Amino acid sequence: MAVHGPAMTDVARLAGVSHQTVSRVLNGHPNVREQTRLRVRAAIAELGYRPNGAARTLVTGRSQVIGVVAQNTTLYGPASLLAALEQTAAEGGFAVSVGSVRNLDHRSISAAVERHLSHRVAGIVVIAPVESAGEALERLPKDVPLVTVDGDPRRPVPLVTVDQVAGARAATQHLLDAGHRSVWHVSGPSDWFDSAGRIQGWREALLAAGVDPPPLLPGDWSAASGYRAGQLLARMPEVTAIFTANDHLALGVLRALHEMGRRVPEEISVVGFDDVPEAAYFIPPLTTVRPDFDAVARASLRMLLSQIETGTGGALRQTIAPTLVSRDSVAAAPPR
């Protein structure tokens, strides 16, 4: 005789709610009180309830799988966003199918989307931080629930992104508030929207303080390019403050400054961006900007589920504010 596991009605009975409420929790519906959601989740865990995906697809008319298109990269930001999306989707009762692409261009993105659609995913999230992804996103089928993460803010595609401009402005202002007359910037690659936003925020903060931005030093997100920029900056006695577009660039800058006898933060202050797990263990511990990747993931899934539920899209935009994390790599400007 077959042994059946707990049913949705068992979960509802234990949690003291209706089976419709359990269904809404499993489907990530936003109109459920947080206390009720937690009670349902606790009952699911206690009973070991596992939803029947095939049955739910028949009932709801859609899959319980979210398709994600992402570049195959170990860069901290995109990798962290992907991990946060997977975790958030799982909490909402969805599985994630990841379509990794080598390049974020029209052909690669279109092929990944077609693969997802052939498996009847409920909707698609594209992590699209580079310019080459923009055209592909606009040419995708209009009836597909779709959200982009860190995509092109100029295109009419639903978008959730870290507020890169505000984060860079806060980093630069932090250095100005410490008494530094100017702030030099080591940027990320020119085709990344993250990089462009951080350049914009840096420039805005300087101009608002009446400071002409010094020449930009381009980088490629790597510690090696930060090291090369740091070697140049270390030779310039007028440099007392550096903002790098990510923490790996900052790591390279710190190494170059150390090798060339420039003390941090006594002579030069340094601020990064991303708050990688190792940032607190740099020498000195790095002041940086921390994006809230979990909040980006939650907002992305909410936006996508809203499209799935209502059948409508629209050029929605949501930016998530990052946080400045103050550590020991910033000090008052040295006397002149």
Which of 93-102, 227-236, 244-253, 320-329 comes out lowest in average pLDDT?
93-102
The predicted pLDDT at position 5 comes to 64
Q: Global pTM?
A: 0.79
CB 250 within 8 A of CB 272: yes
Tell me the pLDDT tens digit for each residue of 109-168.
888 888 888 778 888 999 888 888 877 777 777 778 889 998 888 887 889 999 999 999
Span 18-42, mean pLDDT? 79
Integer Cα distance of 12 and 319 in angstroms? 36
> Worst-scoring range by mean pLDDT, 166-175, 182-191, 192-201, 312-321?
312-321
pLDDT at 331: 98
Q: Angle CA(73)–CA(324)–CA(68) in degrees, nearest 5?
A: 30
Which residue type occupies 106?
H
Integer Cα distance of 290 and 245 in angstroms: 12
Digit-coded pLDDT (tens) for 31-59:
788 888 888 888 888 887 765 543 444 34
Residue keyed to tokens 């550096």? 242
* Residue 329: closest CA among 165, 187, 166, 171: 171
Please say if the pLDDT value at position 21 is more than 50: yes
